Amino acid sequence: AETKIPYDAPSALHSQPEDSPMISITRIGRHLGAEIAGVDLSQPLDDNTFAQIASAFFDNEVAFFRNQNIQAA
């Protein structure tokens, strides 16, 4: 069973430009894994969204993106 723990991203990443999508990051386990929602990986990412995803990945070592429609290039 997964345990969802609220993820607190570094404060520098809390400011969200108006044109950036609102993403949510939920820590799945105590030491490993985060679910990232509210982002469409089939579209280009702005710098702020990329920075939030990168920070969550580096902090949690594993990132889960559910329900993505990604096709090979």
Pick from 16-25, 36-45, 52-61: least confident? 16-25
pLDDT for the residue 70:
81
Taking residues 21-34, report their average pLDDT.
86
String of DSSP letters for 9-64 = --GGG----TTS---EEEE-SSSS-EEEES--TTSPPPHHHHHHHHHHHHHHS-EE
Check residues 12 and 72 and name the one with the higher pLDDT: 72
